[in-house]
Amino acid sequence: MRILSTLVSLAVIGGGLWWVDGHYPSLKYIALEKINTAQVLSLEIKYTPKQIIDHNKGELLRSTKHKCQSHDLKFAPYLLMEVKYSKNAAQTGEGVILWDMTDGEMVMNTKHWEKTHGYGDCITTHASSQDFGIINELVKKGGVCDQNTLLQTLNIENDPLDTTIDACKRKKLIVQIGQRYRLHMAGAKFTKEPETLITSPLVTTTHSAGERLTKRFSAAQIKKNAQAAFGSEFAIKSATEIFLPFYSITVEHPDGTLQTTFWNAVTGTPLSINLVLGK
């Protein structure tokens, strides 16, 4: 009965939009805009486009012939998770994690927008808890170590270790150099404590679907990766999707060419083009 009721409701809505389109076409676009507009949680905006442009004139407006053509407010999706984990044998830690749903990286703090580098590759390649055992050990050893060290510290036999090493090599998470292994990421940055220092408050905002970036990673993928990365004593108590506000600023150069850059509205600092393009 519930399915039938839903189908009837959709038919009524569809018929209503058809009638409105025929008699009052302008109202159809207002109705569709309402449907595509949502109230969501986002980090509070601290910088305006004018403040960012004024503070970065040397980069954005290098001469009087450079003109700011447009600045648009956009929103990037993040997963906010309330978590608990073991800090040590005697202490449990509780806090929140903010995880980017476009590049797959964790935000370590929102004051300077410091982020990890490497978790995105792990999500893409479906890294297991065994894979993370090797990755985390390599991180402790400065990114490089040999098989004997892994055997001793991970306390496992040769055969299962070989299997996991082969899996990590196949997933391009590590590479072998002679008798040693290293992380296969430029500037790899992982974290031991799964917690984000959040200094910006959350507010309720309204924006349309067209102003939001497309998610590259789902909440389920991120939660599965976090569980594998942080161990069996790590638990996710709740998870909510929130948004980071940022600006797309387009400047016209003297020769008529256009340059678009992206700026974090919370910190006033540049954002990576990879984040915006979802790469």
Extents of the domains making up the chain: 2-37, 38-116+191-279, 117-190
pLDDT value for 107: 98
DSSP 8-state code for residue 197: B
pLDDT value for 58: 84
Q: What span, in angstroms and rounded, lies between the C-alpha atoms of 271 and 274? A: 8
pLDDT at 27 over 80: no
Q: What is the band of 201 on the pLDDT scale with cuts at 50, 70, 90?
A: very high
Contact call for residues 251 and 61 (beta carbons, < 8 A): yes
pLDDT value for 272: 80
User: Which positions ≥6 away from 108 have C-beta within 8 Å?
Assistant: 114, 115, 116, 191, 196, 197
pLDDT value for 277: 56
Q: How far apart are the first and last CA of the chain?
A: 43
Query: Which tens digits make up the pLDDT trace of 66-122?
Result: 888 889 999 999 999 999 999 888 899 999 999 999 999 999 999 999 999 999 999
Query: Which tens digits make up the pLDDT trace of 120-166?
Result: 999 999 999 999 999 999 999 999 999 999 998 888 888 999 999 99
Q: pLDDT averaged over the chain? A: 86
Report DSSP letters for 222-278, one per residue: HHHHHHHHH-TT-EEEEEEEEEEEEEEEEEE-TTS-EEEEEEETTT--B--HHHHHT
pLDDT value for 35: 44
**Which comes out higher in pLDDT, residue 206 or 245?**
245
Contact call for residues 186 and 150 (beta carbons, < 8 A): no
Q: What span, in angstroms and rounded, lies between the C-alpha atoms of 226 and 96? A: 12
pLDDT value for 134: 96
pLDDT value for 40: 86
pLDDT at 17 over 70: no
- The beta strands (E) that lie in the chain are given as 37-43, 67-88, 91-100, 106-109, 114-115, 144-146, 174-177, 180-183, 202-208, 235-252, 258-264
Q: What is the pTM of this model?
A: 0.82
Contact call for residues 199 and 110 (beta carbons, < 8 A): yes
pLDDT value for 207: 75
Q: Which CATH architecture has domain 117-190?
A: Orthogonal Bundle (1.10)
